[in-house]
Amino acid sequence: MIKSYALNEIETVVKEILPLLKSNVIRFKGEMGAGKTTLIQIICAALGVQDVVSSPTFSLINEYQDTVGESIYHFDCYRIESEDEALDFGAEEYLYSENLCLIEWAENIASLLPEDTQTIELEKTGTHTRTLTLS
Q: What is the pLDDT of residues 48-64, one digit of tens each?
A: 999 889 888 778 899 99
Asked whether residue 52 is assigned to any structural domain, the reply reads: yes
Q: 12-27 pLDDT, tens per residue?
A: 999 999 999 999 999 9
Q: CB-based contacts of 95: which residues, under 8 Å, 6+ apart?
A: 25, 101, 112, 113, 114
- Nearest to 93, CA basis, from 118, 78, 71: 71
- DSSP letter (8 states) at residue 98: S
Q: What is the pLDDT of residue 23?
A: 97
CA–CA separation, 34 and 30 (whole Å): 6
Within a domain: 31:
yes
CB 14 within 8 Å of CB 39 = yes
In a domain, 107, yes or no: no
Alpha-carbon distance of 73 to 2, in angstroms, equals 25
In-domain check, residue 42: yes
Output the pLDDT for position 57: 74
The enclosing domain of 20 has a CATH number of 3.40.50.300
Helix (H, G, I), strand (E, B) or coil at 23: coil
Q: In degrees to the nearest 10, what's the CA dihedral of 104, 107, 112, 115?
A: 90
Residue 26 sits at φ, ψ, to 5 deg, of: -125, 125
For residue 86, tell me if it sits in a domain: no
**pTM exceeding 0.85:** yes
Q: Does 122 map to a domain?
A: no
For residue 133, give the H/E element and its range.
Answer: strand 129-134
At residue 2, does pLDDT exceed 90? yes
Full domain range(s) for residue 28: 1-79
- The answer to the question of residue 47 being in a domain is yes
Total structural domains in the chain? 1
Asked if residue 68 is part of any domain, the answer here is yes
